[in-house]
Chains A and B, each alone.
Chain A
Amino acid sequence: MVFIRDLKREFFEFISKQQRRLLVFVHLDVDSLCAWKIFQHLLQCEHITYTCLPVLYKYDLENGHMQHINSGIKSMIFINCGSTLDLYDFLSLDSIGNDDNALTLFVLDSLRPIEHRNVYDAKQIRILILPNKIDAEKKRVPQYEELFHEVYDDDNNDENESENEDNDDDDDDGSNMRIESTEGREKRLKRQWLKKRDKALGNYYKYRSHSYSSALVMFELAYLLSKDTNEQLWYAIIGTHVLRLNHHQNTTRSITDENNPALNTSNSKLSMDCVNIKFDEDINFHLLRHWSFYDSICHTQDMILAFKLWSSRGLAQLKEFLADLGIPKREYEQNYRDMNIKYKVNIKKQILDKRLQDKYHYTTNTIILPTFLLSSGFTLKLSPQDIVLSIMATLQTASSSSSTSTSMMIDLTERFSLALSCLNYHQLTDYLGGIELEKVYMNKTHYLIETLLQSDKNLSFDNTIPFILLKFDQNMFNSSTTTDHTTSCGFFTHPYQAYLFARNALQTLIAYTSASSNAVKKKKSKHLQRLPLILIAPYSSTNSGEELVEIVVGVPSLNSIMMNSFSTLFEAADRRCGNVAKFVFFDHSVLLLQEQHQQKFIDALMFVLAK
């Protein structure tokens, strides 16, 4: 069975019985890092040797596979990568050919849809999912008969006929069936079947989404092996928070339900030096514990939209709001941790106050969120959102020392180990470093969005184009107002982070135009709400600086934010303009493009979207 039912026996015991080194490919994002940490702990407990390879692009997988192909490896594990690829084909497993070198591939990925050929190849590929969701997964993939059934003999006549009942032609043909030659009938049946197959596949692949986090599956495995400790629980919590942060999933209910059996609820007898995880409802402002209260509100996306903080009027209203909360200016401008405790205690209650909510028009369901807090000894209290942001910032910052390497490859192992050490709750230096990076990144994002709102130079919006085009060029950071000229190439380096930026930009843009007093702009905003956004930004340039490689991200319109159909749309556009785009990431809604092909691709995309 391709979907593994019993994680412990079919996966873990299978691996430990093999007594061989294990090859693990880990994608460079927060969820897979958390899953890897849990898995690494399990492997160390059983003394299983492993080789871990961080991957970001598809060819990393290939390279890694080529390098290790002859070292006697019998199992490979893919964490958050590879389920959307046809693995058999991609790694050319047929050509290996040896009978006794039967490689087994285990795929643990939160991206859906899974490539259908991966599901129906029961020989070498196994897919790891949460055991209680196995039926839902099976239902989602189209049936085997729809996709691979190729034999048409008389026995199948009845089946085909009953399936095509709504097809009027068939009824007429029924009487003519005996008169028609068998060859012609077979061809017709095959054509019908192919049409149905294409439709089924098209529906299946239309929307890309994320399902539950990989870290949760790994924690489930740890729980089955009775090796679940508070540490592993903490990593699983961080993994699920990633998905919540990216709004890829509405997980507020599911986190609490799935974690309740494993949580030890406020155990006051537990020593202070142990890892203590508490569940509480907490204020969700951006990096609240690392900034002043004021800064943290100014950078929270929801508060920006609610108070319209791009305008000076919005800032004044925010100050009024803070005064209503009862916090003096001196308090909210210093570090949150140094704030007077009597204000901190009242903040949550005040924010929930109905009167303030009505006056300032903000909603509390995204501000006060149920979340977990880790306290261990006398160190800082850690909150998963902050850790997620810190790791994302670390992952996307390219190290400046390795600028002589080839342009497309960014030093993966360094970033990987740095990000992994951010997860360490004993030594917080890397985590705090990541927070600083995140602050810098936030400031830059703000700058970009502000320039975006002030001038329409980067934005293309037209009644004829079926999407909003947001284009940044090399000069996006250079302006007369800033003194530091940061290179724009190092800014968008990670696909998820580019996606988040594009989504925030879209939200801000719509809020801005709808709040504007200009009537023309108001009409524009109604139209804007239905449009998706395409972001094109510089990614990296070759050493000579001539050829610029750009990253293209597609964000669906706000009405249908969960259903991202851009992977198929980009593929279709690419086919039209002659395969200029490079789908190097596992998620096809983000791709790389060379500058000279940009216009061609945009035209092709317009054509595809207009249909």
Chain B
Amino acid sequence: MDIDEVQYLSENELISVVPNFKHPEINLIRGSVGPFLPLVPLQVPMWMAIHLKESHRCRFVCPEWLTFDSVQELLRQEQQQETFTPMPNPYVFILSQTIMNVALEDIPNGDQIRLLMKDLWDLRLAKLRSSIGNLARSGALYAKVTHLTQVEICLIRNFLKTSLKHIAQLQDAVPDE
């Protein structure tokens, strides 16, 4: 799976928007999106929200996990623990970037949240790298990691596959003593 595929899949998450037009219910394959009334918030999939925002038909409601306080709390927890902390959403980083690109005006303290997100990302990546290094050095056959987001999994997937394969090949090549 590619990063692009992850992004595509992430756009299926639901997000709350406030439309400014009136429209009856829309029936889609995956489910229906309820009647649109002006100034009444409702949940829509992310791809629809982006489309509506770009044609200036709606306003985003900031999701609870993207407020300044909650992101700060996440960062604090991540800094305290050695292992990974659970993320509120499997697509946190991709979604936050998409939302920032499209609807920066609707997110209060947007640029500060961006900084915090970047810190969080760097922290988790550092942890990932060190744990992979430990895995390679210890020569264990498997390791268990919890609470990774899809993007991070996607990042290390290819690398882990090829590198572990190489290690295994090299180990086979060394004559047993």
Contact = CB atoms under 8 A, between A and B. Distances in A.
Most B CB atoms within 10 A — which of A45, A226, A227, A274? Answer: A226
Interface string B41-60: 00000000000000111000
B108 A269 contact: yes
B70 interface: no
A153 interface: no
Most B CB atoms within 10 A — which of A45, A227, A229, A271? Answer: A271
B110 A227 contact: no
Given A226-B20, A274-B104, A269 B109 contact: yes
Nearest to A226: B20
Interface residues of B, number: 13
A273 interface: yes
Most A CB atoms within 10 A — which of B21, B38, B110? Answer: B110
B15 interface: no
A271 B110 contact: yes
A272 interface: yes
A229 B110 CA distance: 18
Nearest to A227: B56
A273 B110 contact: yes
A270 interface: yes
Contacts of A271: 104-105, 107, 109-111
A274 B20 CA distance: 21
Contacts of A274: 104-105, 110
A346 B57 CA distance: 45
A229 B55 CA distance: 12
Contacts, number: 29
A230 B56 CA distance: 12
Contacts of B108: 269-270
A270 B105 contact: yes
A226 B55 CA distance: 11
Q: Chain B's interface: helix, strand, loop or mixed, by majority? A: loop
Contact of B104 (A45, A226, A227, A273): A273
A172 to B, nearest CB: 68
A45 B55 CA distance: 5
Nearest to B68: A269
A229 B109 contact: no
A58 to B, nearest CB: 36
Contacts of B111: 271-273
B79 to A, nearest CB: 24
A272 B57 CA distance: 23
Interface string A227-240: 10110000000000
Contacts of B104: 271, 273-274
A45 B56 contact: yes
A362 B111 CA distance: 44
A283 B108 CA distance: 31
Contacts of A270: 105, 108, 110
Contacts of B107: 271
A459 to B, nearest CB: 55
Nearest to A222: B56
Nearest to A46: B55
A433 B20 CA distance: 39
Nearest to B108: A269
Contacts of A230: 105
Interface string A270-296: 111110000000000000000000000
A227 B111 CA distance: 24
Interface in A219-265: 226-227, 229-230
A8 to B, nearest CB: 12
A229 B106 CA distance: 12
Interface in A51-71: none
Interface string B76-113: 00000000000000000000000000001101111100
Interface string A185-198: 00000000000000
Interface string A36-59: 000000000100000000000000
Contact of A229 (B21, B38, B56): B56
Interface in B107-122: 107-111
Contacts of B105: 229-230, 270-271, 274
A356 to B, nearest CB: 41
A230 B109 CA distance: 17
Contacts of B20: 226
A243 to B, nearest CB: 27
A274 B111 CA distance: 10
Contacts of A45: 55-56
Most A CB atoms within 10 A — which of B38, B56, B107, B111? Answer: B56
Contacts of A227: 56
B6 to A, nearest CB: 25
7 contacts: A226-B21, A230-B105, A270-B105, A271-B104, A271-B107, A271-B109, A274-B104
Interface of B: 20-21, 38, 55-57, 104-105, 107-111
Interface of A: 45, 226-227, 229-230, 269-274
Given A226-B38, A226-B56, 10 more contacts: A229-B105, A230-B105, A271-B104, A271-B105, A271-B107, A271-B110, A272-B111, A273-B111, A274-B105, A274-B110
